[in-house]
Amino acid sequence: LNLTHRFIVSSDRENRSLESTMARLAREYKECDQYEKAYQAQDAIFVARKRATNAKKVKPMRWVKNVGLGIKTPDAAIEGTYVDKKCPFTGNVSIRGKIIKGLVISTKMKRTIVVRRDYLHYITKYRRFEKRHKNIHAHCSPAFPVKEGDIVTIGQCRPLAKTVKFNVVAHEAQRETA
C-alpha cells in the first residue's frame, strides 16, 4: 500500500510540474532566433499547421523535455526562442553517465565551454596527495548565460564533437568578492 501511495504521489508531482511547464509554453508560433544561413526550427514542431478553433488540446509551439536526474529545466529553455539540436532540454540529446561540477575557464568557442576539474591523486609511496586537473569541453546551451569563472554542472552525453562529450545542465553565477 505504501509503495503504490508513493508512486501515486510522485506521479502526481510530475504531472503538476508538467502542467506548470505546459502553461508557460507558447501556444502561438514565435519566430525562432535566426543567426545561421539555414532556416532554424525545432524538429518536433510543424510551423505551418492549420489553426483548429474547436480543438480541445492545442499542442504547444515549442518542444521541451525534462532530462530527469533531479535537474530542473531552466526558464530560458521553456520560454526562449533559440534552436539548439544539441541542447539537453530542447534538442535530441540524453544525459547519462557522469555528472560533474567544475569551473569555467574559457567561453571562446561557439556554444562550447572549457571546464576545469580539480582533483587529488594519492601517491602510495609517499602516502600523500598531489593536485591534478583535467580540462573538459562541454556544450553550453543558450539557456545558460555562462561567463568565465562561473561554476557549472555538466552531464555526460553521446559524443557531440571530437572532444565534446558533456553538456551543461546547471549554472551558478560567479560570486563577487568585495
CA distance 117 to 62: 34
Predicted confidence pLDDT, tens digits, the chain (178 residues): 454 444 444 444 555 554 555 556 555 555 566 666 666 666 666 565 656 556 666 666 677 888 888 888 888 888 877 878 888 988 888 999 999 999 999 999 988 999 999 999 999 999 999 999 999 999 999 889 999 999 999 999 999 999 999 999 999 988 776 5
Name the nearest CA neighbour of 170 among 89, 64, 112, 84: 89
> Is the full-model pTM beyond 0.85?
no
| DSSP code string of 30-44 | -PPP--SSSPP--TT
Largest CA distance in the chain: 76
CA distances 68 to 94, 109, 151, Å, are 10, 28, 21
